[in-house]
Amino acid sequence: MQIRTEPVFVTPNGRTLTRQALQFLATQSVVCREILNGWSMVLNREERLQSHDTLQDAISIPWTFRCAQMDRIIKDQALDVHQRYESFKNNIPSCTINDKELISMRNIDLVFLLIVEESFFYIIVFDLKPPSIVIIDSKDWDGTVDNIYGSSTVVLQDMMIMHLLREGHDAGKVYAEMEQDQIRTRWQSRESLVDCGVMLMRRMETYFGGDGGKWDCGLYKERTKQKRQLKDLRTKYYSKILLIDENIRKTSIITDVELFIAMETSYNAKKKRVATRIGRGKEICSRLWSIFREGQHLLDEFAGKNVLAASNTIYVGQ
């Protein structure tokens, strides 16, 4: 029997996803941060493939803040700005495969920073060409950026500025004087807490910068249609994460699935044969019953004729 905490996603640099974590994506539950990190790897790999293994145009950094991580990096007032930056900087190499050109961000257009708060997920997107900062959120909030997100987004902007300045990137100076904008779209919701992570994954997949007001991620506004879409996306993302080439367990997963399909096919074929036999047995029984009834009818009819013949017979003794 397989344990639900069994790793089904393992990368060469040690990142893992358990069966239990992936179940959150497959069973209409709120996705966990590990799922978002895995999805970031999928998108980064697709960027590399699209650019024929050269420098990609966009990179999604799986930088998610939650619980202790969020408290230490964003909320802990005891940390000075340099300590915060060290935590920020140490996360980047794992997302860029230690590529110095990617770490410098000179040849990158977009950087996605993922944040997981207590009750909602959102992304800060730094567009480097031309410089801009936008926040993409699944929920429709009232209020200003400061009121909704507090200091979290400001801290991340400061970390990004420090990193760009240290790498000699021109956008660092521009960001220092820039305000953050929140993208508002027709498909934002005040209700869909369970699906907010899946919605976030869809935004990561479809946003390529530019005018957010004209951006369409393809989700319906109407709730029933959107629910069906999100269910389909869960299946799609589940499969893409498992089958990414960086997953060391990909081959064994495919083997397990093929074995399961073979077993299920064999079981269904056996079940069909049994059902066919039962059907034939029922048909034979039905025919026998018809023959029996017909024979009984003939016997009754024959017996009636014998009684009638007997009543018209006179036996004469010697």
Q: What is the pLDDT of residues 140-172, one digit of tens each?
A: 777 788 888 888 888 889 989 999 999 999 899
Task: Calculate what percentage of the chain has a pLDDT beyond 90.
Answer: 9
Whether the predicted pLDDT of 78 surpasses 70:
yes
Give the pLDDT band (50/70/90) at residue 209: confident
pLDDT of residue 189: 66
Instruction: Give the burial string for 134-171 (b: 16+ CB within 10 Å, else e).
Output: bbbbbbebeeebeebbeebbebbbbbbbbbbeeeebeb
Of the listed ranges 2-6, 21-25, 132-136, the least confidently predicted one is: 2-6
pLDDT of residue 54: 47
pLDDT of residue 200: 87
Kindly report the backbone phi and psi dihedral angles of residue 82, in degrees, each rounded to the nearest multiple of 5, phi listed first.
-70, -40
> Which sign, positive or negative, has the C-alpha torsion 67, 69, 70, 72?
positive
Mean pLDDT of 19-37: 84
Whether the predicted pLDDT of 300 surpasses 70:
no
Mean pLDDT of 166-195: 82
pLDDT of residue 9: 87
pLDDT of residue 133: 92
Whether the predicted pLDDT of 232 surpasses 90:
yes
Is the separation of the CB atoms in 212 and 187 below 8 Å?
A: no
Q: Cα–Cα distance between 111 and 287 in angstroms, integer? A: 75
Q: Cα–Cα distance between 188 and 148 in angstroms, integer? A: 15
Q: Tokens standing for 316?
A: 């004469």
Torsion of CA 65, 68, 72, 76, to 10 degrees: 110
How many Cβ atoms from other residues are within 10 Å of residue 30's Cβ? 16
Whether the predicted pLDDT of 92 surpasses 80:
no
Give the pLDDT band (50/70/90) at residue 128: confident
Whether the predicted pLDDT of 316 surpasses 50:
no
Q: Tokens standing for 246?
A: 């960086």
Digit-coded pLDDT (tens) for 49-62: 776 544 445 555 54
Give the pLDDT band (50/70/90) at residue 73: low
Q: Cα–Cα distance between 218 and 32 in angstroms, integer? A: 23
Q: Cα–Cα distance between 104 and 9 in angstroms, integer? A: 29
Whether the predicted pLDDT of 69 surpasses 50:
no
Digit-coded pLDDT (tens) for 258-270: 887 888 777 777 7
Beta strand extents in 43-170 (DSSP E only): 58-61, 110-116, 121-128, 131-137
Could you say which architecture CATH assigns to the domain 7-248? Answer: 3-Layer(aba) Sandwich (3.40)
Quote the mean pLDDT of the chain.
75
Whether the predicted pLDDT of 297 surpasses 50:
yes
Whether the predicted pLDDT of 214 surpasses 60:
yes
pLDDT of residue 58: 57
